[in-house]
């Protein structure tokens, strides 16, 4: 953000702001009304350690599993792992007790328009709970994640 650029530069680190890229052709508001009386959380991306997918699922389930007022939609399929291994990871998350009824795991979405529908049905996205900043001048990496605080 421009704010982060300002703070880094104030402290003597030559940082530049880089705008996020957004594909507005394929991802946009559908203006479709979703009438569910609950809040829908979304978790997207590959099931990976560096993205803390396991920690996010455990934390969410500990707080909201089987709560009628909330749902979690996950699209965390990792094309680089066999489906059986991914299912084992999911089973580990829930200690072999089965997935709570208010958590849904979606398959990989082949079409952007299908994924766009999923995104439009989500109220709160829980992606990117780890932030990495690379300081350009020194190539030093500073990491903050919401599970370990710093690393």
pLDDT single digits (tens) 15-42: 887 766 566 666 667 777 766 778 888 8
For residue 87, give the 3-state DSSP assignment.
Answer: helix
For residue 58, what are its two tokens?
A: 């455990």
Q: Report whether pLDDT(107) > 90.
A: no
Cβ atoms 75, 109 nearer than 8 A: yes
Calculate Rg over the CA atoms of the chain. 18
Per-residue pLDDT of 55-65, as tens digits, reads 888 888 988 99
- CB-based burial, 125-138: b 16+ in 10 Å, e otherwise: ebeebbeeeeeeee
Cβ atoms 103, 20 nearer than 8 A: no
pLDDT at res. 131: 44
pTM of the model: 0.67
C-beta atoms surrounding 47 within 10 Å: 20
pLDDT at res. 68: 93
Helices (H), the chain: 2-10, 53-64, 83-93, 112-120
- Mean pLDDT rounded to a whole number for the chain: 78
pLDDT at res. 144: 44
Instruction: Summarize the confidence of residues 114-137 as an average pLDDT.
Output: 68
Instruction: Summarize the confidence of residues 96-118 as an average pLDDT.
Output: 87
Which of 99, 56, 59, 53 shows the shortest CA–CA distance to 78?
Answer: 53
Sheet with 124-125: strands ordered across = 103-105, 70-75, 39-44, 124-125
């Amino acid at each position: 953000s421009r704010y982060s650029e300002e703070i880094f530069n104030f402290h003597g680190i030559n940082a530049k702001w880089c705008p996020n890229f957004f594909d507005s052709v394929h991802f946009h508001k559908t203006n479709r009304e979703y009438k569910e009386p609950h809040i829908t959380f979304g978790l997207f991306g590959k099931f990976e350690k560096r993205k803390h997918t396991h920690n996010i699922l455990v934390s969410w389930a500990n707080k909201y599993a089987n709560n009628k007022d909330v749902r979690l939609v996950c699209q965390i399929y990792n094309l680089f792992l066999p489906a059986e291994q991914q299912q084992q990871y999911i089973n580990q998350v829930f200690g072999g007790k089965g997935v709570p009824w208010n958590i849904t795991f979606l398959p990989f979405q082949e079409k952007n328009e299908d994924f766009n529908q999923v995104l439009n049905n989500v109220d709160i996205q829980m992606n990117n709970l780890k932030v990495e900043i690379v300081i350009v001048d020194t190539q030093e990496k500073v990491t903050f994640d919401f599970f370990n605080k710093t690393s």
